[in-house]
Amino acid sequence: MVLCVSLLSSPSVLAAAITTNSIAGWPQGPEIVDETGVLMEAETGTILYDKGMDQRMYPASTTKIMTALVVLENTEDLQTKITFTETGTKEVTPDSANIQAQLGEELTVEQCLYASLLASANEVSSQLAEFVGGTKEHFVEMMNLKAQELGCSDTHFTNPNGLPDENHYTTAHDLALIMQAAIQNETFREIESTQTYTIPATNKTATPRNLTNHHAMLVSGNPSYYEGAFAGKTGHTDAAKDTLVTAAEKNGMTLICVVLKSDNGQVVADTINLFNYGFEQFQRLPMTEKDETKSGGYAIVPKNITKDQVQVQENADGELIQQTYTWQNVQVGSAAVEKVTPTPTPQPEKKAPADTQEEPKPYLADSTLSLVIIGALCLLILIGLSAIVIKLKKKK
């Protein structure tokens, strides 16, 4: 894996341009100090900002977003208790984020998820992996399969917590795709938006553990709090430097921001700048009628763009029409729309022109006249016959 090491280690290779700034008519994005970054709209997957988003990087503890997603998708009862083994407790070290879990201690899956996501506890993440996957190694295989399922094109995990490993890597874009899937889970959103959480005393501890969300943008009262931010994960190792994944919602539009490798504490400031850029410069533009739309139906475009400026490509798919929306050759949305069969308009009954219409025949009058004539003839015949009979009698 020499190639992997060189890609992840060489600053000269990692220097990245903001490629979205080269799109004609695209709002110019801000400069960020992080090595790579992406701003993606969550519903359509539209990329609003791209600075080296497909370059391979170390994720550090933002890995735990995938860990939580796999746990949530493979656990029926979050109140199930987990007993800590050496798999987890061996990672309770002074240089590793932890909650000092003890051998034989029992915590519920839910409590472990809070400890992993809010406190970034490495030993808890490993113990969750063993519980769900049977072994930590099998759980990591589940993580990698999930990454493939989500369309992550350059991601490989070797552990569930993001501890340093040259074969543990991802990209800003892949992390955005993972976050896109995770925020569709209501439990994940609930945990991530929690500012403080208390784990009560356990079978091994006499006092409760009070956890605080490490993500400053999610904590009200913090100078870095960002209105609309509802989920996210911090990360840091010596190799990865600072990493940050965040989701925020305003005006019906949800954006996901990922910034990777900053060694000067600018990940929060850069994320805020990118969110402000996205929410101020772009709009969620309705493209279809709601009652006919099965999915999608929106385009994410600059605020000065109107519906008639967006190109629409259609492909029939059974009972649906698949629409793809593009602007400046950038895909900005899609939709699945029901086929609509037009209802035929009733046509009025055609009538002949007034001057060619035939006058109705007086059938009743003609019949009556015929009867009168026939009756008169019969009467005359009877009179004639009577006369003949009378003459014959006189002759006798």
State the DSSP string of 114-125: HHHHTS--HHHH
In the chain, which residues fall in CATH 3.40.710.10?
19-282
Q: From the candidates 120, 126, 262, 334, which is the catalytic residue?
A: 120
Q: Is 64 a catalytic residue?
A: yes
pLDDT value of residue 351: 62
DSSP state of 152: -
Radius of gyration of the chain measured on its C-alpha atoms: 40
Q: Is 370 a catalytic residue?
A: no
pLDDT value of residue 290: 78
CB 182 within 8 A of CB 190: no
Q: How far is CA 344 from the centre of its chain?
A: 37
CB 197 within 8 A of CB 86: no
Torsion of CA 229, 233, 238, 242, to 10 degrees: -10
Backbone angle region of 104, left / alpha / beta, with phi > 0 → left and psi within -120 to 50 → alpha: left
Q: Is 120 a catalytic residue?
A: yes
CB 96 within 8 A of CB 205: no
Q: 175: closest CA among 62, 277, 68, 254? A: 62
pLDDT value of residue 10: 39
- Residues of the chain predicted below pLDDT 70: 1-15, 340-346, 348-373, 375-376, 378, 382, 384-396
Q: From the candidates 64, 136, 241, 261, which is the catalytic residue?
A: 64
Binding residues for substrate: 233
Q: From the candidates 51, 61, 125, 334, which is the catalytic residue?
A: 61
pLDDT value of residue 341: 65
pLDDT value of residue 46: 98
pLDDT value of residue 149: 98
The CATH number of domain 19-282 is 3.40.710.10:
yes
Q: 58: closest CA among 178, 168, 159, 172? A: 168
Cβ-in-10-Å burial (0-12, 13-18, 19+) of 239 comes to middle
